[in-house]
Amino acid sequence: MKLSALIDVLTFLAVALGLYFAFIYAPVENVMGPVQKIFYFHVASAWISFFAFFVTFICSFFVLFTNKYIFDDVASGSAEIGIIFCTIVLITGPIWAKPIWGTWWTWDPRLTTTLILWFIYVGYLMLRKFLDEEDKRAKFSAALGIIGFIDVPIVFFSIRWWRTIHPNVLQKGGGGLAPEMLTALFVSIFAFTLLYVMMLVKTSAIKHMFRRYEKIASNKGEI
């Protein structure tokens, strides 16, 4: 079995396990009821978007210092995946907030900084679309990939630095979470990490194939 196929199968199993832990293993929360189960994949998505932008940040340094396009492929692919997960966070958050806070959206520091993060990386992808020259595209977007990452720790620490209504579960003692809930959260984070790896393998392969296609086509005189 090819490695990519093995990752696909493992991801599927991990996601199924994550759903089992979230819906069956973890107890229903006393105050919020079943709607609290949004939490498991909402938090996992937030973590994966942070991780994806971190990979973009690291690979962007390699782009600037090594000039190897493989790092540009991974950086841009990871940013794209980060946006997918950040979008999930920004949509599932308000869906959870409406029945609990009584409002879809509030300009809370955590929510606002997350929205800014989303705009930064959408800007990153737009910048790549507008630049035709390969070298310029790689270097300019690497610079944005490094500067843009500054917002990630701001989002993470926003609930400690400013007054906020957003809950803080990722602290010592699990923020008052029952042990079963904490286990379910870790299982969903693990499942989404595998999902991220699977997506990154695919996006990197696509970018690599596209580069090879362009090279052969330009040698042949088609481009």
Torsion of CA 171, 178, 12, 75, to 10 degrees: -10
Span near other proteins by CB under 8 A; candidates 52-60, 119-127, 140-148, 210-218: 210-218
Cβ 180 to other proteins shortest distance, Å: 18
**Looking at 20, 157, 161, 210, which residue binds other proteins (CB under 8 A)?**
210
Asked if 149 touches other proteins (CB under 8 A), the answer is: no
Asked if 139 touches other proteins (CB under 8 A), the answer is: no
Q: Are 123 and 102 in contact (CB under 8 A)?
A: no
Which residues within the stretch 70-129 sit at the binding site for other proteins (CB under 8 A)? 81, 84, 87-88, 91-92, 95-96, 98-99
Asked if 27 touches other proteins (CB under 8 A), the answer is: no
d(CA 178, CA 199): 32
Question: Would you call 92 exposed, middle or buried from its count of C-beta atoms within 10 A (0-12, 13-18, 19+)?
Answer: middle
d(CA 215, CA 208): 11
**Among residues 158 and 203, whose Cβ is nearest to other proteins?**
203
Asked if 34 touches other proteins (CB under 8 A), the answer is: yes
Asked if 33 touches other proteins (CB under 8 A), the answer is: yes
d(CA 9, CA 3): 10
